Chains A and B, each alone.
Chain A
């Protein structure tokens, strides 16, 4: 092997630059979360872990964190319950209008979240006026909104795994005497399981980090973590927020790594 060619060198430099551009702010936040002084200044005079202790002592963050986890888990389960059957119907049964249904279910990904959040809020209010049934500012309402955030991810990932696990395995099962249910449980489900796990991870991440859809829907004392962060930022800017964000970054990072073990993410997008 000779020296790297100029083109290859330029390519590597570009990759490093893009990577740095994406990663630098995250690293910055992690770094700042250990700064000793309250008012951000460079370079820091010393380092401390006390912001983490402070963040965990603040009720807003602790509750927000718990709330986000709870909502995230519920939304993930709901999006699997809806998304897996929808993906199966779309990929396995050629019926007219399936593309329309697919696009409709994927649309929360394309509609600006703040617009969709407002729309959901208005819808909940209208519904309440009509039926006296309250969804806005309730846990259920929040879960419904977050299910909308999560559903496109589930649908896309499960569809992708159904496409790659082509129908031939299912046909093989049928030819061996398996009925429709046996085929689903013994063949289809095991084959798409990695896709479902990745879908669950992504759904959770999407829900866990959602700010815009939740803005209108949280009630007093029922704030999610991103909203707790936003509220805090309105009044103060100190490394506490960096500590909270660092925890969030690590949770999301861990979920991404787990997903990648099951589904090579590069293949899905």
Chain B
């Protein structure tokens, strides 16, 4: 009963109730490019790269496949001139922010996106929210969050929590498409983490002198 019959790129696909178009496509081995999607996390719909054309009753609209739910008799197209053009522009905008990110570069090649179409304003963070959402939803530590808004929005660690949790975790690090997260971590660590409490056995002065000698 709960099976939903629909079409993706001309292929008959049976989706389950509550499936997003992206999940339905995945199951049918049809790939849709994504950046902010992660299977363990709730749909976020931030990067918009997964947009597709959805046709219903003869009308076509552009929807974001990671949040749009499967519907009966929907006809989905994952590539078209229009979609490719939008993805190209999105990638060009992303490249202005994160010119050296391999994942973005790979997709840019696929869609013919030009690196210099928009003036570079490298901020490295592309606001995919993967680290923020992973820490909140999976690790449940909330060690990192967004601050500020608009073009000044950025990720920011809560030093007290990060000092306790991150060193032994680092699970969100590989998720970052641009490596900015690692840089932000090094920075917060250097600026705010307190040095490890000294071993009470060792005299502080001795320790300082030993370290000084080592360097020589």
**A, B in one complex:** no
Give A contacts to B, CB under 8 Å. Answer: none
Give B contacts to A, CB under 8 Å. Answer: none
